[in-house]
């Protein structure tokens, strides 16, 4: 594993790979790596000649300064995991000034994709994600980039970003990786107490059960059922649960409104905010 911390050094390294017609896969992360990230890295390694993993806690996507401060940072463990997973990967660990030599004042227009769910409750979040992802794409210029489906809305926004900027990168969506209990893997899980982590299984269990109930309930009733069930668990509070069209992210009223219905949830476990989703196929 090669660790690089400047954009210039990374670009030099990749230029020599490209000169030899090597394809480049890219996995952007904010570190605190878990099995979910490692699956993205493995997939990238299987599909490309060279894989770059970035570790950068992007300040511009945090609307809550406290969340930014408390975001888990485990650089040594991350490098060890990457070494064990894909030994010949390149890990890019830039400082803030490397990504933003000047403050990034760009404002992206994603319309109704960002007025709902995460966009509604975390104002400015997706603008920050678009800033960092476009900047990282500019530096790495990958052939393919890998993102987890847990961040369902983020994936839709990144696809729209790539379309708007006409970037020659293929976005590859990878399935949610879950803990044994069903809890979707997330760097934030590390901030849960052992008891919260165990009890947080209520989130995925409720989503799975809602899928089993789909044929008996219209979306509105299922939304109420999911919300009430999770809110009834002590210490857990739903921020939103919605059943949306997986392409437009707009709420649906009837199952026939879309062929791609997806239930998306954000839940507070104490002060830790978790997200998850389920495709109602
Ligand atoms: O999903 C994440 O970890 C981040 O939002 C990303 C895509 C690495 C951008 O900072």
Mutate which of 29, 53, 135 for ligand 1? The one with the most ligand atoms within 8 Å of its CB, which is 29
| 134-153: pLDDT as tens digits | 999 999 999 999 999 999 99
Which residue's alpha carbon is nearest to atom 2 within ligand 1? Answer: 29
Q: Is residue 125 a contact partner of residue 119, using CB atoms and an 8 Å limit?
A: yes
- For residue 267, the model assigns a pLDDT of 98
Distance from C-alpha of 88 to C-alpha of 91, rounded to nearest angstrom: 10
Distance from C-alpha of 150 to C-alpha of 264, rounded to nearest angstrom: 9
37 is catalytic: yes
Share of the chain above pLDDT 90, in %: 100
- For residue 281, the model assigns a pLDDT of 83
Q: How is residue 31 written in tokens? A: 């570190």
61 Cα nearest atom in ligand 1: 10
pTM above 0.85, yes or no: yes
Class of domain 2-174: alpha beta
Q: State in Å: Cα 44 to ligand 1 middle.
A: 16
- For the Cβ of 162 lying below 6 angstroms from any atom of ligand 1, the answer is no
Residue with tokens 């090669």: 2
Class of domain 187-276: alpha beta
Where in the sequence of the chain do the CATH 3.40.50.620 domains occur?
A: 2-174
- For the Cβ of 132 lying below 6 angstroms from any atom of ligand 1, the answer is yes
| 4-42: pLDDT as tens digits | 999 999 999 999 999 999 999 999 999 999 999 999 999
Task: Name the band, by pLDDT with cuts 50, 70 and 90, for residue 72.
Answer: very high
Q: What is the mean predicted confidence (pLDDT) over 81-88?
A: 96
Q: What is the mean predicted confidence (pLDDT) over 184-206?
A: 97
Q: Is residue 68 a contact partner of residue 57, using CB atoms and an 8 Å limit?
A: yes
Distance from C-alpha of 174 to C-alpha of 249, rounded to nearest angstrom: 18
User: CA gyration radius for the chain?
Assistant: 19
For residue 259, the tally of other CB atoms under 10 A from its CB is 10
Distance from C-alpha of 63 to C-alpha of 59, rounded to nearest angstrom: 9
Q: State in Å: Cα 55 to ligand 1 middle.
A: 9
Task: Name the band, by pLDDT with cuts 50, 70 and 90, for residue 272.
Answer: very high
Distance from C-alpha of 210 to C-alpha of 230, rounded to nearest angstrom: 12
Q: Measure CA 82 to chain center.
A: 18
DSSP string computed for 191-226: GS-HHHHHHTHHHHHHHHHHHHHGGGS-HHHHHHHH
Q: What is the mean predicted confidence (pLDDT) over 243-248?
A: 98
- For the Cβ of 129 lying below 6 angstroms from any atom of ligand 1, the answer is yes
Where in the sequence of the chain do the CATH 3.30.1300.10 domains occur?
A: 187-276
- For residue 253, the model assigns a pLDDT of 97
Mutate which of 119, 151, 157 for ligand 1? The one with the most ligand atoms within 8 Å of its CB, which is 151
Name the 3-class secondary structure at 179.
Answer: coil
| 165-175: pLDDT as tens digits | 999 999 999 99
Distance from C-alpha of 88 to C-alpha of 48, rounded to nearest angstrom: 12
What H or E segment, with its residue span, contains residue 266? strand 261-269
């Amino acid at each position: 594993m090669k660790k690089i911390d400047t954009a210039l050094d990374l670009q030099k390294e990749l230029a020599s790979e490209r000169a030899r017609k090597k394809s480049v896969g890219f996995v952007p992360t904010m570190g605190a790596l878990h099995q979910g990230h490692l699956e993205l890295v493995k997939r990238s390694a299987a599909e490309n000649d060279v894989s770059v993993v970035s570790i950068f806690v992007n300040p511009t996507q945090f609307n809550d300064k406290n969340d930014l401060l408390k975001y888990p940072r485990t650089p040594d463990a991350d490098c060890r995991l990457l070494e064990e997973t894909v030994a010949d990967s390149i890990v890019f660990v830039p400082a803030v000034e490397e990504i933003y030599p000047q403050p990034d004042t760009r404002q992206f227009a994603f319309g109704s994709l960002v007025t709902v769910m995460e966009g509604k409750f975390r104002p400015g979040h997706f603008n920050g994600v678009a800033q960092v992802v476009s900047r990282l794409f500019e530096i790495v210029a990958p052939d393919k980039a890998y993102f987890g489906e847990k961040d369902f809305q983020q994936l839709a926004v990144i696809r729209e970003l790539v379309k708007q900027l006409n970037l020659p990168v293929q976005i590859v969506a990878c399935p949610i990786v879950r803990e044994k209990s069903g809890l979707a893997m997330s760097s934030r899980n590390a901030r849960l107490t052992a008891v919260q982590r165990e009890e947080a299984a209520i989130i995925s269990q409720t989503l799975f059960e809602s899928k089993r109930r789909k044929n008996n309930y219209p979306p509105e009733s299922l939304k109420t059922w999911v919300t009430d069930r999770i809110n009834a668990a002590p210490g857990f509070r739903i921020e939103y649960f919605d059943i949306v069209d997986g392409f437009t992210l707009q709420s649906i009223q009837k199952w026939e409104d879309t062929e791609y219905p997806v239930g998306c949830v954000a839940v507070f476990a104490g002060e830790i905010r978790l997200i998850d989703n389920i495709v109602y196929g």
